[in-house]
Amino acid sequence: MPFSDKALPLWEVENLKRALHAAGVALWSWRVETDAFAMDERAFELWGLPPKDTVTFEDLSSRIHPADLDRVRAAFTATRAVIGAYEVDFRILLSEEIRWVSARGLGNDEGLHKGRMSGVFLDVTGRKQAEEGHELLAGEMSHRVKNLLAIAVGLTNLTSRSTTTALEMAKELTERLTALGRAHDVVRPLPGHQGRAALLGDLISVLLAPYDDSGAFSGRIRVAVPRMGIGEQSATTLALVMHELATNSLKYGALSVGSGMLDISGTATDNEVCIVWTERGGPELKPPEGEGYGSKLLNRSVTGQLGGSIEFDWSQEGLIATLTLNPTRLAT
């Protein structure tokens, strides 16, 4: 039944009030000449003000976020020049809580009646928080994609200089990028929007699992490192380091023979994290002549990005690589 100019029965008015309350709609009217607001009970609750017959714009201004105050003043002043419906979203402060409010009405005097403009307030805090979350997620994804593209470009350049055929380059580049993919699989969000991290042991085990059919914990690869989280950026870098060491071992070291064993152990203090890569049971090794591109990648990653150092002991029993890392850099 359409509305008419006739007064509604009291029971219909009460039904409308209940419907508005159920929808979270708060009512207001603004006397343009005196700048006085009248609001219903829901509006006073929304603004955190004690109910009274009238409130002024200054009363409401004490609750509006300082960064939004001038904009809201200007918006309300300009509403009479707006043709049709208008909507103004802004923040209000209730002690430590920030609440988003949407003020809606009709402009260009269309909503003016007996010197009063009327409209509604809506609590849109949930929607605004969701929008902010989406913006943060989009920004994080953009940042991650840019980082991954930069890493991919660097790896492509490095691999092109360390290989002689297109097939060899494709194979090595694919393996390195796959290692990065496995690293990102174990990176998880931290509580309270503190970023993302991975557990050190989980990361190393996942990276080395393809080299051990029995699994990183039960076969010939043993992982025993401190239980600690490392940041997303460090996880990416460490994935490249572990991949390079494992690839070299698969070509020349303990993983190149069925009887070879690999042990990754570690210790951690407030000042440093030490990871020891120990190979046993493989063929006799000879120290490499000069520094190849794989060694350059290892040194650049450990010293430049992880803030540490890497030392190699080319013993007859097998390679021992000792990584000394900065715990602060590992957290990033």
Instruction: Check which CATH number belongs to the domain holding 83 and give it.
Output: 3.30.450.20
Query: Is 295 in the same domain as 195?
Result: yes
Read off φ and ψ for residue 259, nearest 5 degrees.
Answer: -90, -5
Length of the chain: 332
Give the pLDDT of residue 302: 85
57 with 165, same domain?
A: no
Query: Are 142 and 109 within one domain?
Result: no
Q: For residue 198, give its domain range.
A: 129-330
Pair 119, 144 in one domain: no
Question: CA-to-CA distance for 298 and 208, rounded, in angstroms?
Answer: 17
Is the same domain home to 181 and 229? yes
CATH number of the domain that 242 lies in?
A: 3.30.565.10
Please tell me the distance from the alpha carbon of residue 115 to that of residue 2, in angstroms, as a whole number. Answer: 26
Residues 144 and 163 in one domain: yes
164 and 115, same structural domain? no
Structural domain count of the chain: 2
Residue 1 resides in a domain: no
Instruction: Annotate 207-270 with DSSP letters as a single string.
Output: HHGGG-TT-TTTSSEEEE----EEEHHHHHHHHHHHHHHHHHHHHHSGGGSTT-EEEEEEEE-S
Least confident of 46-50, 94-98, 106-110: 106-110
pLDDT, one tens digit per residue, over 113-136 is: 666 777 888 888 888 888 877 776
Task: For 281-332, write each residue's pLDDT tens digit.
Answer: 888 877 777 666 567 778 888 888 788 899 989 888 899 999 999 988 888 7
Single out the residue in 73, 95, 123 at which a domain terminates. 123
| 4 part of a folded domain | no
CA-to-CA distance for 235 and 197, rounded, in angstroms?
8
Pick the more confident residue, 21 or 41.
41
Q: What is the mean pLDDT of residues 84-88?
A: 80
> Which of 194, 184, 197 lies closest to 231 in space, CA to CA?
197
Considering the domain architecture, whether residues 139 and 20 belong to the same structural domain is answered as: no
- Contact at 8 Å (CB) between 212 and 254? no
Question: Based on the domain organization, do 219 and 310 belong to the same domain?
Answer: yes
pLDDT tens profile 237-250:
888 888 788 878 87
317 closest CA partner among 247, 260, 248, 275: 260
Residue where a domain stops, chosen among 123, 150, 182: 123
| pLDDT of 216 | 42
Could you read off the pLDDT of 166-178 as tens digits, one per residue?
A: 888 887 777 767 7
* 168 in any annotated domain: yes
Max alpha carbon distance in the chain (Å)?
101
Q: What is the CA radius of gyration of the chain?
A: 33
Residues 6+ positions from 213 with CB-CB distance below 8 Å: 219
Which three-class secondary structure state does DSSP give residue 87? strand
Task: Specify the pairing of strand 273-280 against strand 318-325.
Answer: antiparallel
pTM (2 decimals)? 0.49
Regarding whether 256 and 208 lie in a shared domain, the answer is yes
Structural domain contains residue 247? yes
Same domain, 53 and 166: no
Q: How far apart are CA 100 and CA 93, in angstroms?
A: 9
Q: In sequence order, which ranges of the chain are alpha helices (DSSP H)?
A: 10-22, 41-47, 57-61, 66-77, 125-162, 166-185, 200-208, 232-252, 293-299, 327-330
What secondary structure letter does DSSP report for 323? E
Terminal Cα distance for the chain, rounded: 63
Residue 25 is inside which H or E element, if any? strand 25-31
End-of-domain residue from the set 123, 147, 165 = 123
Residues 169 and 247 both lie in one domain: yes
Within-domain flag for 75: yes
What is the torsion angle, in degrees rounded to the nearest 10, for the CA atoms of residue 245, residue 246, residue 247 and residue 250?
130
- Separation CA 115–CA 105 (nearest Å): 15
